[in-house]
Amino acid sequence: MPAIVILGAQWGDEGKGKATDLLATQHSQSGAGTQIDYVVRTSGGHNAGHTIVVNGEKYATHLLPSGILTPGATSVIANGVVVSPEALFRELDGLLERGVEVADLKVSANAHVIASYHSVVDKVTERFLGKNQIGTTGRGIGPAYSDKVNRLGIRVADIFDEKILSAKVEAALDVRNQLLAKVYNRRAIAVEAVVEELTAYADRLRPMVCDTSLLLNQALDRGETVLFEGAQATMLDVDHGTYPFVTSSNPIAGGVCTGAGIGPTRIDRVIGVIKAYTTRVGSGPFPTELFDEDGEKLQRIGGEIGVSTGRTRRCGWYDTVIARYSARVNGLTEFFLTKLDVLDTWERIPVCVGYEIDGVRHDEMPMTQSEFHRAQPVYEYFDGWGTDISGCRTLAELPANARAYVTALEEMSGAPFWGVGVGPGREQTIVVHDR
């Protein structure tokens, strides 16, 4: 039964960890087991950012699944992830140095590798794009995925066979070096240096590497609970997001199947995490973006600064068109609404209920990106509640206007609300519809 997907329903940074916390708490209280057995990353790489709070201490992870700080749960980096061994061990060592107990970690033999040349290429490409840049995290994610699709990628298993590794690195660098030297005016990268860089991790990596598709399917056969933890988000999906201002993988629910090697029929719940307003980092269209005091206030009160890059996030109002779109392309069984408390001090809260594009009203996502770039939000206005809601633990305890806001969003978003976050703490959650 229990294969659960938690993913971002907007442009990322929705607070997915909060939904994971509620799931872990409910699961341990249900008698179904003491905890979630597997926490799995299926796409992206160290471009993500999770903040985990354990015993009041804050830890940030980028590549490691959030389950890494839950001993007893196995953390899995599945085949769809692009793995920088350097980032992997830097994060692991960072946790070990702080004396925390880390969970068992498994890495797919088929996951693709990010070597240092991928981030070099990421950065020079962005510089070259000038004003058309994507605003990537510069971590080499796009170049690693493009090598994968070009069939020039290095997989984790290749690190253990130096002869194969050398041949693959040589093939990968062949055209890349021509580009670096002749187009970007950079020094070519030596094959031997990359082989040395990657084989240096072989001994530490070997015991972690396995067939993670087999591992996870067998766990599901035994009735264990597997949490597929999304990174990035729906609107950053390379197929369904705001292309080309997207990441290079499929963070939507469908990406979980390809990224982990499990069939769609195995998934029981797909939870879309969505903020009570909207944020985005990097470039690209964002219809409800605010350029005024309200935007600055959302940024300040919401602490909207990227965990991964330290960049300030662009802020805007809740967009029900995006919510409905997300519910549709992910087949969401429910939403988890986060950061409602950030809106405590507004007298009037606008909510985008549709777009106007070239004089035509759209209730659903327009068909083309160029229309989306011209979308003007159509707002409905809700009365604020003007009081601190961070202590509320039930829907009934919320002020009437906050309840009306949540109910209206739920009606317009295309899937039931499972829970609502009213503060950063683990316990600051309201369960709306129990599962």
Q: Of 84 and 225, which CB lies nearer to ligand IMP in the complex structure?
A: 84
Nearest approach in angstroms of CB 185 to ligand IMP is: 23
Q: What angle do CA 401, 403, 407 make, to 5 degrees?
A: 115
Q: Of 22 and 281, which CB lies nearer to ligand IMP in the complex structure?
A: 281
Q: Of 213 and 309, which CB lies nearer to ligand IMP in the complex structure?
A: 309
From the list 149-157, 240-248, 348-356, 411-419, the region that binds ligand IMP by CB under 6 A is: 240-248
Q: Of 139 and 339, which CB lies nearer to ligand IMP in the complex structure?
A: 139
Told to check if 236 binds ligand IMP by CB under 6 A, we report yes
User: Using CB under 6 A, which residues numbered 281 to 300 contact ligand IMP?
Assistant: 281-282
Instruction: Give the interface size with ligand IMP as a residue count (CB under 6 A).
Output: 21
Q: Of 8 and 261, which CB lies nearer to ligand IMP in the complex structure?
A: 8
From the list 44-52, 287-295, 317-325, 338-346, the region that binds ligand IMP by CB under 6 A is: 44-52
Q: Of 121 and 406, which CB lies nearer to ligand IMP in the complex structure?
A: 121
AA letter at 79: N
Nearest approach in angstroms of CB 355 to ligand IMP is: 21
From the list 123-131, 138-146, 201-209, 395-403, the region that binds ligand IMP by CB under 6 A is: 138-146
**β 57-61/429-431 pair status:** unpaired
Closest CA to 198 of 131, 117, 255, 264: 117
Token code pair at residue 47 = 């471009």
Q: Of 67 and 284, which CB lies nearer to ligand IMP in the complex structure?
A: 284
Nearest approach in angstroms of CB 114 to ligand IMP is: 11
Told to check if 349 binds ligand IMP by CB under 6 A, we report no
Nearest approach in angstroms of CB 26 to ligand IMP is: 25
Told to check if 13 binds ligand IMP by CB under 6 A, we report yes
Token code pair at residue 80 = 């769809």
Nearest approach in angstroms of CB 234 to ligand IMP is: 11
Tell me which residue has its CB nearest to ligand IMP: 282
Which residues neighbour 392 within 8 Å (Cβ) at sequence distance 6 or greater? 398, 402, 422, 430
Q: What angle do CA 114, 117, 122 make, to 5 degrees?
A: 85
Q: Identify the residue whose tokens are 């938690």.
A: 6
Nearest approach in angstroms of CB 251 to ligand IMP is: 9
Told to check if 136 binds ligand IMP by CB under 6 A, we report yes
Give the chain's radius of gyration (CA, Å). Answer: 22
- Report, as residue numbers or ranges, the catalytic residues: 13, 50
Nearest approach in angstroms of CB 244 to ligand IMP is: 9
From the list 242-250, 325-333, 359-367, 417-425, the region that binds ligand IMP by CB under 6 A is: 242-250
Choosing from 41, 139, 168, 339, the residue that interacts with ligand IMP (CB under 6 A) is: 139
User: Using CB under 6 A, which residues numbered 106 to 135 contact ligand IMP?
Assistant: 134-135
The binding track of 140-169 with respect to ligand IMP, each residue x by CB under 6 A or -, is -xx---------------------------
Rule CB under 6 A: which residues touch ligand IMP? 12-13, 47-49, 134-137, 139, 141-142, 231-232, 236, 245, 247-248, 281-282, 308
